[in-house]
Amino acid sequence: MKGRIHNFNAGPAAHPLPVLEKIQAEFLNFKGSGMSVIEVSHRSKRFDEVIQDATARVRRLLKLDENFHVLFLQGGASLQFSMIPMNLLPAGQSADYVNTGTWATKAIKECMIQRKPVKVVASSEDKGFSYIPKEISFSPDAAYAHITSNNTIKGTQWASFPDTGGIPLVCDMSSDIMSRPFDVAPFGLIYAGAQKNLGPAGATLVVIRDDMLERVPQNLPTMLKYPTYVEYNSMFNTPPCFAVYAIQLVLRWLEETVGGLDRMEQINREKANLLYRTIDRSEFYRGTAEKESRSMMNVTFRLPTDELERQFVQEAFEHSLSGLKGHRSVGGCRASIYNATSLEAVQALTDFMKEFAGKNG
Sign of the alpha-carbon torsion through 285, 288, 294, 296: negative
Q: Cβ distance 173 to 190 under 8 Å?
A: yes
**CB distance 100 to 156 below 8 Å:** yes
State CA 120 to chain mean position distance: 22
Q: How far apart, in Å, do the first and last CA atoms of the chain sit? A: 28
Q: Out of 103, 158, 225, 325, which one is annotated catalytic?
A: 103
Q: Phi and psi dihedrals of 313, rounded to 5?
A: -60, -45
Active site residue 210: no
C-alpha closest to that of 239 among 62, 52, 24:
52
Catalytic residue among 196, 225, 271, 325: 196
For the chain, the maximum distance between any two Cα atoms, rounded to a whole number of angstroms, is 64
Which residue of the set 154, 158, 172, 176 is catalytic?
172
Question: Is residue 158 flagged as an active site residue?
Answer: no
Q: How many CA atoms lie less than 13 Å away from 139 in the CB half-sphere?
A: 18
* Residue 103 bears catalytic tag: yes
As a whole number of angstroms, the distance between CA 143 and CA 127 comes to 28
Q: What is the torsional sign of CA 196, 201, 204, 205? A: negative
Which residues, in sequence order, are bridge partners of residue 289?
none
Q: Is the sign of the CA dihedral 20, 24, 30, 35 positive or negative? A: positive
Measured at the CA of 207, the angle between CA 203 and CA 211, to 5 degrees, comes to 145
**Is-contact 270 80, C-beta < 8 A?**
no
CA distance 113 to 196: 27
Residues annotated as catalytic (active site), given as ranges: 103, 172, 196
